Chains A and B, each alone.
Chain A
Amino acid sequence: MKLIMAIVRPSKVEEIKDSLARLNISGMTITEVRGHGRQRGHTAIYRGKEYSVSLLPKMKIEIVIPDDMVDETIRTIIETARTGEIGDGRVFVLPVEQGYNIRTGERDVL
């Protein structure tokens, strides 16, 4: 099992959810986060004054999937989340040792 953690543009979340659903991935956790990557934020103008936006709003999507689906999942996320402009986000893959369903007490067999 792997945990896929994707930091993406907020506007892309719905589209990503849909394309993951097509891979039969339906369980996911989505969190509003802030951060910056290589672009280190940018400056914006508000009422004539320039101020710096150093931490940009992003969304974090977390999903747990079987090992053999990792490549396809990453490819799907990247294809969907990419606009081509700086700030499209990141995808990380982390190993997961165990997973449990709290209501039924079942352990995941992936």
Chain B
Amino acid sequence: MPPNQLLTIRNNYQRSKQELSQRFLQDLRATDFLEEHSDVVDRLICDVVSPYREKRTFGLFAIGGYGRRELYPGSDIDILLVYRTDGTQSAAEGILRNLIQDLWDTHLDLGHQVWSLEELKELDLNAWEFCLSLLDLRPILASDTMVEQVKEETSAFFRKNSRELANRIVELTLTRHRTFDGTIYQLEPDLKEAPGGLRDYLAATWLRNLYRAEGRYLPYEESKIEEAHHFIQQARIAVHLLSNRKQNRLTHALQEKVAPLLGYASGTASSDVESLMKEYFLNARIINGFCMSLVNAVWGDTDSQLVLEDLRELSSAEEVVQLFLHALEEGKSLSDFLRNAVVDSLPSLSATIRYPALKESLIQLFKPRQGLYRTLSEMYELGILELLFPEFASIKARVIRDFYHRYTVDEHSLLTIRNIEELEAGGKGIDGRFQVILRECDDAYLLTFALLLHDVGKSREGKHSERSARMAARALKRFRLDKGETDTILFLIRNHLAMSSVIQRRDLEEESVIKRFADLVGDTKKLRLLTLLTYADVKAVAPGTLNDWKKDLLWQLYVLTYRKLTLEFGDESISEQDISEKLLSELDPGLERDSFEQFLAGFPLRYLQNTPREEIYEHFRMASRLKGSRPVQTRLLKRRTHYDLCVVTPDRSRLFAAIAGLLSYFEMNILRGYGFSNQQGTILDFFQFADVRGVFRLNNSEKQRFLNLLEQAVLGEVDVDLLLQGKEKSIVFQRNTPGFEPSVYFEDDPAGRYTIVEIIAPDGIGLLYRISREISRKQCDIKLVLISTEGGRAVDVFYLSHDGVKLSAELRTKLRAEILQALAQEQAELI
């Protein structure tokens, strides 16, 4: 075909596509767009192919999405060319070569398969991808006889292999789901591949056709499934148009653009995205449910389903709850028949429900054990959970856009219960320490009540603990729970963030912190429940949120508080003097007594009391070596969950910042840092950090390079600023979540010697370095830094003093301004 003719065809196609896109943006009719887009491509292909058609030696078919007339703006266009193996074969080969080249020059994203009619007789299931694409075969240009012949071959193949093909589709579906951790809850979902995406819908449709399965895909009506499908189609078209290519992931950045495009534009950008994603998850649940009901139908796993053949109807809520209790005790889910019976009974139940009569069944049901999550999820799916707890409806598919919570609020709440269930069951990956706590609780059903309702107040913005407790109080009153039970559940809900807050933001080695927390909790029973609730809650935020480090801290707080609650009179009157004397009396013969005494003088009680004796001797040895040519000593030790770094040096300004900066440069995840000094002015700085990127683990030489650079950085021979620049400017380390305004809060510690500064800022490389540099510039001493990161949000808590006392009001104002300015400057540099 002459180039100018091809160019015209190409331009016509682009123009038509443009028009279709404009129309879609106006009316959002996804099906129209997809079908008309595929019609436009049909016409283009006909234009290109027509000069070659005279010879009538081949047929052209659309397959895959194009065959279904479901052509997205950026999709590949898959075609099948079929030729006859009679005398025209060699002529056909020559023609097809030229034809494909012409189609290629139209710049379509073309995928082509060339088969002879004979070859189609020998279709093989091993080429499953091709076989599946033939399920959507559609003739574009082919003689009637050829269409008939091709259809005959493919139908015969599908008839013969329907069972194997269905099994293959199920296998592929489950494998695909596993690559997404088997959950629809993705922060940046892939609209095509993720569970609940378009591929699930397609798999379900294929299975239905192969199986000719009839019936209701509970609990969804056919029209609901189609609506859900349409929504995901709309979103995928929008994502393709906005990114101008075959992009299927609804990324954070695209969510902001897609929301107004699909009509979610009533509030702030953030709340619009939350509405969009809520709709997405509601629809993905339906598609996923549709798909899984067919998957289960194919695999016919009836053993795991509860069947009650003599059941006629369910006439009361008591019966329904008993039914679920029975299923839970049998370790089964409901059969389709029973699920239908529950859904059918629902309208009459709400009129006749008597809540107090359900109390005992619920208490039985809520006892943590294997299968509870599945039963509660099933109750939720069928509308029963909302009937019992209308409060739960307010968090249905609620999305909180903080780049940290992976799940919607309702699913998160149910997952917390699964975490307790897993703890109860034990097994691989379960922390035995927390299992012991659970075994000691004889009223663990209270925990299920609290977990189910702990976040119901999240339906609105702002602090939710108190609101959740108020809503829960109404629910518990309905069931007439005893006062003692109610009080405990409400205490747990009201304080469900307390332990996380203490471990992340407070110094557990401060006596006053533990005392205050013990006063809040009051008794060991509540302490156990609150610890388990915190464990389950943090673990259900996202996979990996409850890491070993956090588990250790939570355990530490539990143990310290438990001790405080059970042993009222501890030996609190111990002094620096007492410990120093003890250390001196047991001194290693190799160490010199006088200099050791001088070394100890001035270190705070906290250091002397909480540092193992051998460690203190080692620090002394390191300090003694400072008199050599390099006035810095370092020690790096690998622990189970992290690295321990100790730096000993004569008093140096900006020491803390330099170490923090260098750790950032090596991409270490800093967990905490603390420092002590004595009268001689010797500084001991400690850092605990995790090598999440595997820099040290994979490269032995990097550890040595780090220690060399560390020495140079402490001595000011290396410019940490300059080192960090290469990282800061790299696109690899740029945030993919939108930033927010940093904030700085001040508070005095209960003992009154320090000021606690809490800084919340968008996480980024070198953040701690920048903050601590400003703090050092104001001549403040850093006693302790606690660092935690939640999604894109870093929370850095500093314990500071200035000239040995807490910070004055004037200094606080100055420091806040300096920190905010330094962080704003970083933002500006990144833009």
A residues near B (Cβ < 8 Å) are 22-24, 71, 74-75, 78, 83-86, 104
B699 pairs with A86, CB closer than 8 A = yes
Taking CB atoms and an 8 Å cut-off, the chain B residues in 65-85 that contact chain A are 74
**Which of B246, B695, B732 is in CB contact (< 8 Å) with A24?**
B246
* Residues of B close to A71: CB separation below 8 A: 731
Determine whether B701 belongs to the interface, using a CB cutoff of 8 Å to chain A.
Answer: yes
Determine whether B747 belongs to the interface, using a CB cutoff of 8 Å to chain A.
Answer: no
B732 pairs with A78, CB closer than 8 A = yes
A75 pairs with B731, CB closer than 8 A = yes
* Residues of B close to A75: CB separation below 8 A: 731-732
Residue of A nearest to B701 (CB): A86
Residue of B nearest to A26 (CB): B109
A85→B694 CA distance, assembly (Å): 9
Taking CB atoms and an 8 Å cut-off, the chain B residues in 125-139 that contact chain A are none
Residue of A nearest to B6 (CB): A104
B residues near A (Cβ < 8 Å) are 3, 74, 105, 109, 245-246, 693-695, 698-699, 701-702, 731-732
* Residues of A close to B699: CB separation below 8 A: 84-86
Pick the 4 closest A-B CB pairs, nearest first: A85-B698, A84-B698, A84-B694, A24-B245
Instruction: Identify the interface centre among A22, A23, A84, A104: most chain B CB within 10 Å of its CB.
Output: A84
B105 pairs with A104, CB closer than 8 A = yes
Q: Please, could you name 25 A-B residue pairs with CB atoms under 8 Å apart, sorted by A?
A: A22-B246, A23-B245, A24-B74, A24-B109, A24-B245, A24-B246, A71-B731, A74-B731, A74-B732, A75-B731, A75-B732, A78-B732, A83-B698, A84-B693, A84-B694, A84-B695, A84-B698, A84-B699, A85-B698, A85-B699, A86-B699, A86-B701, A86-B702, A104-B3, A104-B105
CB distance from B346 to the nearest CB of A (A): 44
CB distance from B45 to the nearest CB of A (A): 20
CB distance from B17 to the nearest CB of A (A): 16
Instruction: Identify the interface centre among B693, B701, B731: most chain A CB within 10 Å of its CB.
Output: B731
CB distance from A97 to the nearest CB of B (A): 22
CB distance from A56 to the nearest CB of B (A): 16
A28→B85 CA distance, assembly (Å): 36
A74→B698 CA distance, assembly (Å): 23
CB distance from B504 to the nearest CB of A (A): 28
* Residues of B close to A83: CB separation below 8 A: 698
Residue of B nearest to A83 (CB): B698
* Residues of A close to B701: CB separation below 8 A: 86
A75→B245 CA distance, assembly (Å): 17
Q: Given known contacts A23-B245, A71-B731, A74-B731, what 15 new A-B pairs fall within 8 Å (CB)?
A: A22-B246, A24-B74, A24-B109, A24-B245, A24-B246, A74-B732, A75-B732, A78-B732, A83-B698, A84-B694, A84-B695, A84-B699, A85-B698, A104-B3, A104-B105
CB distance from B648 to the nearest CB of A (A): 30
A78→B694 CA distance, assembly (Å): 16
* Residues of A close to B246: CB separation below 8 A: 22, 24
* Residues of B close to A74: CB separation below 8 A: 731-732
Instruction: Identify the interface centre among B698, B701, B732: most chain A CB within 10 Å of its CB.
Output: B732
A75→B251 CA distance, assembly (Å): 15
A22→B693 CA distance, assembly (Å): 25
A74→B732 CA distance, assembly (Å): 8
A84→B245 CA distance, assembly (Å): 30
* Residues of A close to B105: CB separation below 8 A: 104
CB distance from A24 to the nearest CB of B (A): 5
* Residues of A close to B3: CB separation below 8 A: 104
CB distance from A73 to the nearest CB of B (A): 10
CB distance from B48 to the nearest CB of A (A): 15
* Residues of A close to B694: CB separation below 8 A: 84
CB distance from A104 to the nearest CB of B (A): 7
A84→B691 CA distance, assembly (Å): 12
* Residues of A close to B693: CB separation below 8 A: 84
CB distance from B100 to the nearest CB of A (A): 14
A83→B693 CA distance, assembly (Å): 10
CB distance from B141 to the nearest CB of A (A): 25
CB distance from A71 to the nearest CB of B (A): 5
A83→B694 CA distance, assembly (Å): 9
A24→B695 CA distance, assembly (Å): 32
* Residues of A close to B74: CB separation below 8 A: 24
CB distance from A37 to the nearest CB of B (A): 13
* Residues of A close to B245: CB separation below 8 A: 23-24
Residue of A nearest to B731 (CB): A71
Residue of B nearest to A105 (CB): B3
A75→B731 CA distance, assembly (Å): 7
A36→B133 CA distance, assembly (Å): 46
CB distance from A33 to the nearest CB of B (A): 23
* Residues of A close to B702: CB separation below 8 A: 86
A55→B382 CA distance, assembly (Å): 65
A61→B234 CA distance, assembly (Å): 36
Instruction: Identify the interface centre among A24, A78, A104: most chain B CB within 10 Å of its CB.
Output: A24
* Residues of A close to B695: CB separation below 8 A: 84
A84→B109 CA distance, assembly (Å): 35
A86→B74 CA distance, assembly (Å): 38
* Residues of B close to A85: CB separation below 8 A: 698-699
CB distance from B669 to the nearest CB of A (A): 14
A74→B699 CA distance, assembly (Å): 23
A65→B158 CA distance, assembly (Å): 43
* Residues of B close to A22: CB separation below 8 A: 246
Residue of A nearest to B7 (CB): A106
CB distance from A75 to the nearest CB of B (A): 6
Residue of A nearest to B105 (CB): A104
CB distance from A100 to the nearest CB of B (A): 14
A64→B235 CA distance, assembly (Å): 30
A83→B246 CA distance, assembly (Å): 27
Residue of A nearest to B700 (CB): A86
Instruction: Identify the interface centre among A74, A83, A86: most chain B CB within 10 Å of its CB.
Output: A86
* Residues of A close to B731: CB separation below 8 A: 71, 74-75
CB distance from A53 to the nearest CB of B (A): 16
Instruction: Identify the interface centre among A71, A78, A85, A104: most chain B CB within 10 Å of its CB.
Output: A85
Residue of A nearest to B74 (CB): A24
A110→B693 CA distance, assembly (Å): 36
Residue of B nearest to A74 (CB): B731
CB distance from A82 to the nearest CB of B (A): 9
CB distance from B694 to the nearest CB of A (A): 5
CB distance from A79 to the nearest CB of B (A): 8
A85→B695 CA distance, assembly (Å): 7
A24→B243 CA distance, assembly (Å): 12
CB distance from A15 to the nearest CB of B (A): 15
CB distance from A38 to the nearest CB of B (A): 10
A86→B704 CA distance, assembly (Å): 14
CB distance from B249 to the nearest CB of A (A): 10
A24→B248 CA distance, assembly (Å): 12
CB distance from A47 to the nearest CB of B (A): 25
* Residues of B close to A78: CB separation below 8 A: 732
CB distance from B766 to the nearest CB of A (A): 19
Residue of A nearest to B697 (CB): A84
A23→B243 CA distance, assembly (Å): 10
* Residues of A close to B109: CB separation below 8 A: 24
Residue of B nearest to A72 (CB): B731
* Residues of A close to B732: CB separation below 8 A: 74-75, 78
A85→B693 CA distance, assembly (Å): 10
CB distance from A26 to the nearest CB of B (A): 9
* Residues of B close to A84: CB separation below 8 A: 693-695, 698-699
